[in-house]
Amino acid sequence: MSDAVFIAFQANDETRSIVEAIGADNPQASIVHYPAMVKIDAPGRLVVRRESIENLIGRAFDLRELQVNLISLSGNIDESDDEFVLHWNQS
Amino acid sequence: MNMPAAPAKPPRKLGIKENYALLTRGLGWETSYEPMDKVFPQDRFEGIKIHDWDKWEDPFRLTMDAYWKYQGEKERKLYAIIDAFQQNNGQFNVSDARYVNTLKLFLTGVSPLEYAAHRGFAMAGRNFRGTSARIACQMQSIDELRHAQTQAHTISHYNKFFNGLHDYPHMHDRVWYLSVPKSYFEDAMTAGPFEFVTAISFSFEYVLTNLLFMPFMSGAAFNGDMATVTFGFSAQSDESRHMTLGLEVVKFILEQDPDNIPIVQRWLDKWFWRGYRLLTLVAMMMDYMLPKRVMSWAEAWEMYFEKNGGALFHDLSRYGIRMPKYHEVASKEKDRLSHEAWGTFYNYTQAAAFHTWIPADSEMQWLSQKYPKTFDRLYRPRLEFWREQQAQGKRFYNNTLPMLCQTCQVPMFFTEPDDPTKICYRESDYRDNKFHFCSDGCKDIFDHEPEKYVQAWLPVHQIYQGNCFLPDANPAAPDFDPLAEVLRYYHMQVGHDGHEYLDSPDRRNWEQWTGKPGVAA
């Protein structure tokens, strides 16, 4: 069992689609709702895809917009124009 | 005019990687009038060896244009909510007036640290010779200033209705329990730039701030405080960038030279323990001060340190980094930390700028449930005894001054790692003086750099030396009241800012203004 990475967002209208997209792209992730906050844990690796979010919100999305509603995260980050990946480097 | 007749094709839009590379690689230069070592005199003395600054990579690759754009958006959202909160008298929608005491502790203890972080990152940024490191520090410095401002703006509204919030920068620099956060940050700021970023960006922001902001802000939401939730989460959105930077900093230093590993490990040990001791105040807020509770300190410690922190150190083990020293002591203390702290503040609340109280029966029940191994056996009987005394008109206030730990400056109330009924005392001799510590962790930190920690401004020592009175106080006068004089020096109003919550003007005002009970059912 690999160590979990996580990402947490403010719970609001903007993040609802983001969380939905993350859930669809990461079937192994668990999504927990706290007061005002949504925390998503995933074993080893979690990917946020620009295209999946755009398909849900119906407009162009810049992955850096994630920062507006981001609360916290853990894991090494690899970000490009299309994907935002959290992972641990484990052998 | 030189305008071309037909405009050329618009230039190709740069991807974020290229954009970031141009910002962080293109803007620096090697100085020629002065040697680089004279321009950057502080990034060598700590012993950290850097061979290639270009290996420093900010994974968010945030460029300045995007930075201003998203920060501006965050500010607009935040201030719109603060306006709405004020216009709708949101301060009366919180669970009960006890809740506001968490804000008092936050504003006096944490907000000035945001300002200190603003200064600290400005200094660190000046002292790194790598461009991307300087840019990351610059953004963080601006972020931290924003946090200090938004917190003051948000909480200033509460100052119109509740006591204890009227002079936080003055208090931060003087009051006994506030020397805990103050000395923590000043310890980091007076270290070299690499130790500073390891301490603050990594050990504090990456490893420990989740414990401060996530349960506390979620707790604020649960207690109806929309204004605080919003500044908290707005700050936290920057914090995720800072945390990421913290991890990158540590990886960068470790990858540059094997000689850096033992230095970094020592810093991780030190700053884990320093930060953990600071979080004692948070443990108490979570378990005792939030009228509606989200999770216990022990649960938060398990989730954010033992599990998430464990994953992080597992990841770093490939560099030869191990878990911070004494992490197992912190885990042993998780079932007692908040109870020991609250008991102490209950004793000394007459000298604090916030109120304390005995938890209601339903709250004690929650505590027994969350702390089945310790609460009923060790802490409930004491709380019930105090409650009994209070009912007889003998509310207990401790009028002696506690001994403080020379390193963390917390009163020495912590117990032995393996015996929660015995106070833990450690001591060291240095230059014919004896110094006292709350734990092996704090003693180790002192023993490594005694020349630094002997200079600590310990509030209790300072009071006994007569340095905490206003110039017009006369200790020789027959009716001299030292406590009253110290409180005057602190700018605390006796009978308003501190003492028992049930007897406080805050409680009376709350009941009168809202028609709701001072202790929510």
By the 8 A CB rule, do B250 and B46 touch?
no
Between B242 and B341, where is the model more confident?
B341
By the 8 A CB rule, do B272 and B202 touch?
no
Cross-chain residue pair B240–A73, CB shorter than 8 Å: yes
DSSP string, B267-284: HHHHHHHHHHHHTHHHHH
Model confidence at B393, pLDDT cuts 50, 70, 90, reads very high
By the 8 A CB rule, do A63 and A81 touch?
yes
By the 8 A CB rule, do A55 and A20 touch?
no
Strands of A76-79's sheet, edge to edge?
Answer: A45-49, A83-87, A76-79
Cross-chain residue pair A35–B294, CB shorter than 8 Å: yes
Evaluate if residue B2 carries a pLDDT over 70.
no
Q: What CATH superfamily classification does A4-87 receive?
A: Monooxygenase component MmoB/DmpM (3.90.56.10)
Asked if residue B57 is part of any domain, the answer here is no
Q: Which domain holds residue B238?
A: 65-514
Q: Is this complex's ipTM strictly greater than 0.95? A: no
pLDDT digits (tens, 9 = 90+) for B28-64: 888 999 999 999 999 999 999 999 998 887 777 788 8
**CA B493/CA B270 separation, integer angstroms:** 37
Model confidence at B8, pLDDT cuts 50, 70, 90, reads low
Amino acid letter, residue A37: M
Cross-chain residue pair B237–A35, CB shorter than 8 Å: no
Evaluate if residue B213 carries a pLDDT over 80.
no
What's the alpha-carbon Rg for chain A, to the nearest Å? Answer: 12
Closest CA to B444 of B321, B268, B281: B268
B contact set with A (CB within 8 A): 15-17, 59-62, 66, 70, 73-74, 77, 206, 210, 213-214, 217-219, 221-222, 229, 233, 236-237, 239-241, 243-244, 247, 294, 307-308, 310-312, 314-315, 318
Q: Is the pTM of this model over 0.90?
A: yes
Closest CA to B197 of B137, B256, B118, B255: B137
| Residue of B59, B70, B310 with shortest CB distance to A67 | B70
Which strand (E) or helix (H) includes residue B265? Answer: helix B260-278
In the prediction, which pLDDT does A91 show? 46
Between B239 and B4, where is the model more confident?
B239
Q: Which residues of B touch A34 (CB under 8 A)?
A: 218, 294
The mean predicted confidence, pLDDT, of chain B is 92
- Pick out chain A residues at pLDDT < 70: 1, 90-91
**CA B449/CA B470 separation, integer angstroms:** 33
**CA A30/CA B303 separation, integer angstroms:** 14
Model confidence at B489, pLDDT cuts 50, 70, 90, reads very high
**CA B468/CA B490 separation, integer angstroms:** 8
Angle at B192 between CA B191 and CA B198, to 5 degrees: 85
- For B392-400, the CB contacts below 8 A with 24+ separation are B395/B500, B395/B503, B396/B346, B396/B347, B397/B347, B397/B348, B397/B349, B397/B350, B397/B499, B398/B347, B398/B348, B399/B483
Tokens coding B434: 């004896």
Helix/strand/coil (H, E, C) string of B368-406? Answer: HHHCCCCHHHHHHHHHHHHHHHHHCCCCCCCCCCCCECC
| Residue of B77, B244, B308 with shortest CB distance to A6 | B308
* In B217-303, beta strands by DSSP E: none
pLDDT digits (tens, 9 = 90+) for B69-82: 999 999 998 899 89
Give percent above pLDDT 70 in chain B. Answer: 98
Asked if residue B207 is part of any domain, the answer here is yes
In the prediction, which pLDDT does B435 show? 98
Count the domains in chain B: 1
pLDDT digits (tens, 9 = 90+) for B421-454: 999 999 999 999 999 999 999 999 999 999 999 9
Asked if residue B95 is part of any domain, the answer here is yes
Evaluate if residue B171 carries a pLDDT over 90.
yes
**CA B435/CA B438 separation, integer angstroms:** 11
B427: exposed, middle or buried (Cβ count in 10 Å: 0-12, 13-18, 19+): exposed
Beta bridge partners of A86: A46, A77
Alpha helices in B89-192 (DSSP H): 100-109, 111-127, 131-159, 168-172, 179-189
Q: Which residues of A touch B222 (CB under 8 A)?
A: 35
- CATH code, domain carrying B508: 1.10.620.20
Beta bridge partners of A9: A38, A70
Evaluate if residue B12 carries a pLDDT over 80.
no
Number of Cβ atoms within 10 Å of the Cβ of B119: 14
pLDDT digits (tens, 9 = 90+) for B215-265: 778 888 889 998 888 888 888 888 888 888 888 889 999 999 999 999 999
By the 8 A CB rule, do B271 and B204 touch?
yes
In the prediction, which pLDDT does B1 show? 53
Grouping H, G, I as helix, E, B as strand and the rest as coil, residue B464 is helix
Q: Which residues of A touch B219 (CB under 8 A)?
A: 35
DSSP string, A14-80: HHHHHHHHHHHH-TT-EEEEETTEEEEEEESEEEEEHHHHHHHHSS---GGGHHHHEEEEESEEEE-
Bridge pairing between strands B433-437 and B426-430: antiparallel
Grouping H, G, I as helix, E, B as strand and the rest as coil, residue B298 is helix
What's the alpha-carbon Rg for chain B, to the nearest Å? Answer: 25
By the 8 A CB rule, do B184 and B458 touch?
no
pLDDT digits (tens, 9 = 90+) for B91-139: 999 999 999 999 999 999 999 999 999 999 999 999 999 988 998 899 9
